Amino acid sequence: MYDVYKIREDFPVFKNTNTIYLDNAATTYKPQSVINAVTNYLSKETANSGRGDYHDAYLVDKKLDDTRELVKDFIGAKLASEIIFTQGTTMSLNIVAFSFGHHFLHKGDEILLSIAEHASNTLPWFEIAKEVGAEVILMPLSEDGYITPEIVKEHLTPRTKIVAITHVSNVLGYVNDVKTIAEVVHANGSLIVVDGAQSVPHLKIDVQDMDIDFLAFSGHKMLAPTGIGVLYGKKALLDVMPPFLSGGGMNLSYTTDCDITFMKVPEKFEAGTLNIEAIYGLHAALTYINELGIENIAKHEYNLKQYALEKLRKLDHIIIYNEDAPTGIITFNVRGVYAQDAATYFNSKNIAVRSGQHCAKLLKHYLNELGTVRASIYLYTTKEDIDAFVEAAKTAEDFLDAYF
C-alpha cells in the first residue's frame, strides 16, 4: 500500500518549510536516510577511495562498489564496471560527446538530435561537431510531441554515427519509445545515447532490454545529493574510448617519455577524487526508491497528474500543452499571462513552479510559445499539493496580486 503521508514523514524538509514544491523535474527533496548516509561518511568513516590501506578506506571502497552494484541492478546493466560516477547528467553527456567524439567522429559524419533536447544533450554535440567537422542534424517532433522510430528512421543516413535523444522530455514529459528507436538506430550501424535525467527517477529502465549504448542521469533528481550522476556505457564501447579527464586515480603508470597506461573502466573515466559523500547519498536514495518500488512511484505520479488534469480542464484560462503525457510533468500557461509572471504569482501563494524554456531552447519551435510554466510531481506529492496548486491557478489571471 502506497502511503504518501507516511512517506512524507521521511523527509525533514516538510517540517521546515511550507513551500508546496512542484519543481521536482529540477531537483527533489531528500529523505532522512540520504542525509544520514552523507553525514555518516562525513562524521564516521571519512577516507579517500581507491588508494588507502587502512580499515576506513576499505569501508569507503566497499561502499563505492556496493553503490555501483546497486546502480547496475537499478538500470539493468550487465556489469558494474559499466557504471561511471560523474558530477551529473551534463558531465556524463560531455564525456560521451568529447571522449567518444574525439575518437570516432570524423569530418562529414552526422550527429542526430531532436529539438526537444536539453542544452546538456545539445551543446556538447554542437561543440564536438565544430571541432571535428561533423554535422548536427536536428529532428522535429511528431505532431503529438514524440520522437518516434519513424522520424528517427527518416533522418538516418549512412553518415549518421550517433543518435542522442531524451527518454522523457523535461518540458513535455512524453516517454519516447527508446527500445524501438534503438533497433532502428542499430540497424543503421549507428549508436544511441539516451538522456535519462527525467526517466530514471520515475520509470523502470532496463538498458540491456532497451539495448541502449549510453545512458546519462543525475542523482539529485532522484533523492540523492547534487554533484553525483552516472554514465552508463556498454563495456566494449567504454573500453576503446580515451579518458575525458586525466590525473590521479585513472592511471596505472607513466614514464618520463609521457607514456601513460590507463586503468580499466570505470576508473579510466573517474580521474580525481570522487564526490564520495554524494555516492553514499546515492546509495541510500536508490535503496529508498527500491523499497517503495519504482513502478509504484510511477503509478502514484500518473494518478496525481490525472487528478490535477481533471481539475485544471475546468479552468478555461489554463492552457495545457501535454495532457496525454504519462509522467508527472504538467506544462501550461495562463492565457494572456507571460510565463514568468504566472510563476511569480504561484510563488506569492507559496507554490514552487518553474517558468521559461526549461533549458530546451529549440523546443519553442514546436510549442510556438516563448515560455511555459512547468509543475512537476514526485513520489511525495499529495492531492493536497495539487488542490492548492489548482486553487491558485483559478485566480492566476490576477497575477499582479503577487506584488500587492
Partner 1 sequence: MPTFNKELMRATILAHYENPYHKETPQNPGEFMQMHLNSSGCIDDFTLYLKVVNDIVEVGYFDGFGCTISVASTSILLEMIEGMKIDDVLLIIAEYHKMLNNETFDESLLNEAIVFANTMKQPSRIRCATIGWDGVKELILQHQKKEQ
Binding of partner 1 by 340 (CB under 8 A): yes
Question: Based on CB atoms, which residue is closest to partner 1, 251 or 357?
Answer: 357
Least distance in Å: CB of 375 to partner 1?
17
Q: Which stretch binds partner 1 (CB under 8 A): 60-68, 185-193, 319-327, 337-345?
A: 337-345
Q: Which stretch binds partner 1 (CB under 8 A): 158-166, 272-280, 341-349, 379-387?
A: 341-349
Question: Based on CB atoms, which residue is closest to partner 1, 369 or 387?
Answer: 369
Q: How many binding residues for partner 1 (CB under 8 A)?
A: 17
Residue entry with cell 502511503 = 3
Cα separation, 201 vs 217, in Å, equals 9
Q: Are the C-beta atoms of 22 and 352 separated by less than 8 Å? A: yes
For partner 1, the binding residue among 348, 349, 359, 395 (CB under 8 A) is 348
For partner 1, the binding residue among 134, 171, 339, 353 (CB under 8 A) is 339
Q: Are the C-beta atoms of 2 and 300 separated by less than 8 Å? A: yes
Binding of partner 1 by 19 (CB under 8 A): no
Cα separation, 225 vs 388, in Å, equals 28
Number of helices (H) and strands (E), helices first, in the chain?
16, 15
* Distance spanning both ends of the chain, measured CA to CA: 44
Least distance in Å: CB of 340 to partner 1?
4
Question: Based on CB atoms, which residue is closest to partner 1, 23 or 387?
Answer: 23
Count CB atoms within 10 A of the CB of residue 159. Answer: 15
Question: Based on CB atoms, which residue is closest to partner 1, 205 or 360?
Answer: 360
Least distance in Å: CB of 337 to partner 1?
8
For partner 1, the binding residue among 148, 371, 394, 395 (CB under 8 A) is 371
Show the binding pattern over residues 380-399: x = contacts partner 1 (CB under 8 A), - = does not. Answer: -------------------x
Torsion of CA 355, 310, 172, 28, to 10 degrees: 60
Partners of 165 in beta bridges? 194
Least distance in Å: CB of 342 to partner 1?
9
For partner 1, the binding residue among 310, 370, 384, 391 (CB under 8 A) is 370
Give 33-36's long-range contacts (Cβ < 8 A, gap of 24+): 33/284, 33/287, 33/288, 34/223, 34/224, 34/225, 34/281, 34/284, 34/285, 34/288, 35/281, 36/284
Residue entry with cell 504566472 = 342
Of 344, 267, 300, residue with least CA distance to 50:
267
Active-site choice (245, 359, 388, 402)? 359
Partners of 232 in beta bridges? 83, 215
Binding of partner 1 by 402 (CB under 8 A): yes
For partner 1, the binding residue among 61, 356, 359, 388 (CB under 8 A) is 356
> H or E element: which one contains 184?
helix 178-187
For partner 1, the binding residue among 40, 357, 382, 395 (CB under 8 A) is 357
Alpha helices in 11-165 (DSSP H): 13-16, 32-43, 55-75, 89-95, 101-104, 123-132, 149-155
> Has 359 been annotated as catalytic?
yes
Partners of 139 in beta bridges? 114
Least distance in Å: CB of 154 to partner 1?
31
Question: Based on CB atoms, which residue is closest to partner 1, 111 or 337?
Answer: 337
For partner 1, the binding residue among 127, 153, 338, 359 (CB under 8 A) is 338
Distance of CA 227 to the CA centre of its chain: 13
Question: Based on CB atoms, which residue is closest to partner 1, 146 or 346?
Answer: 346
For partner 1, the binding residue among 347, 382, 388, 394 (CB under 8 A) is 347
Question: Based on CB atoms, which residue is closest to partner 1, 118 or 300?
Answer: 118
Positions annotated as catalytic residues are 359
- Give the residues lining the site for partner 1 (CB under 8 A): 338-341, 344, 347-348, 355-357, 370-371, 399-400, 402-404
